[in-house]
Amino acid sequence: MQPSCLLWDVDGTLIDTTALIAESLDMVYRRFYGRTLPPERLRALIGTPLKDQVRIFGDPETFGVSAATVMQAFIHHYETNRHRERILTDVTQLLIAGKRAGIPTGLVTSKNQQELANSLPRLGIADYIDVAITADDVTRPKPDPEGIQMALHRLQIPQAQWPQVVYIGDTVHDMRAAHAAGVRPVAVLWGAGPPELLAAQNPERLCATPQELKAYLFPPQIE
């Protein structure tokens, strides 16, 4: 059955950003808080909003710095090193193919508006997106379903069709949000989420490669 809508996560799904995000978090934590987290915990924070990531040690004000300052330092470090992010063109082409096939298409990301505005031109998909929901648009970020539900309402997808909506992401947060929204969670294994943790979320499909994702989204027609 053709999906009634395709919704996509961004970091780790459409772009390989895991190492750069973890490095940027490590930098701001050391610089502003004088401490950091083990690599696996830094990686586990990916998929949550930056405004929450900068408060992992408590209110930044207690360290003599504003949350806005820490966030801008993170974004500056990331953008200074943006040449190290890798656009997953095999995956962005699937997003484009879905839109060209007439499937309503959107992004539901934990990036804030500034972060998405920086990244979107590099992705080459702006003309194929009907809606983009960022962390700034919701009061309850993933794993809450608010962002997915907001996208579907803006796309005017009837609620009866939500079980045919596919949400594609790479973290536990994505899978939990999709389940809570009543849509079909599809996990990709090239991002931040460990395969065993993603499998434990009971996604409809685990895709190890873009080719497996393509076969799931666009199965060959039986003559």
- Give the tens place of pLDDT for each residue, 97-147: 999 999 999 999 999 999 999 999 999 999 999 999 999 999 999 999 999
Kindly state the helix (H) or strand (E) to which residue 177 belongs, with its residue range. Answer: helix 172-181
Cβ neighbours, 10 Å, residue 91:
24
- Rounded to an integer, the average pLDDT of 63-88 is 97
DSSP 219: P
Token representation of residue 183: 């849509």
Percentage above 70 pLDDT, the chain: 98
CA distance linking residue 6 with residue 134, whole number of Å: 16
pLDDT band of residue 220 (cuts 50, 70, 90) is confident
Residue whose structure tokens are 């949350």: 67
pLDDT at 219 over 90: no
pTM reported for the whole predicted model = 0.94
Q: In which band, very low, low, confident or very high, does the pLDDT at 45 lie, cut at 50, 70 and 90?
A: very high
Which residue in 202, 222, 203 sits closest to 213, CA to CA? 203
In this prediction, residue 221 carries a pLDDT of 66
Helix (H, G, I), strand (E, B) or coil at 11: strand
Q: Judge whether 7 and 13 are in contact, CB under 8 Å.
A: no
**Position 223 pLDDT exceeds 70:** no
Mean pLDDT on 193-197:
95
Cβ-based neighbours of 23, under 8 Å, separated by 6 or more: 77, 81
Contacts of 117 (CB under 8 A, 6+ apart): none
Across the chain, mean pLDDT equals 96
Band (171; pLDDT cuts 50, 70, 90): very high
What's the token pair of residue 146? 């608010």
* Lowest mean pLDDT, pick from 64-68, 182-186, 202-206, 219-223: 219-223
Task: Please report the pLDDT score of residue 2 as a whole number.
Answer: 84
In which band, very low, low, confident or very high, does the pLDDT at 218 lie, cut at 50, 70 and 90?
very high
> Is the pLDDT reported for residue 185 higher than 90?
yes
Angle value at C-alpha 183, between 135 and 177, nearest 5 degrees: 35
Q: What's the token pair of residue 91?
A: 């995956």
5-16+86-217 placed in CATH 3.50.50.60: no
pLDDT of residue 162: 97
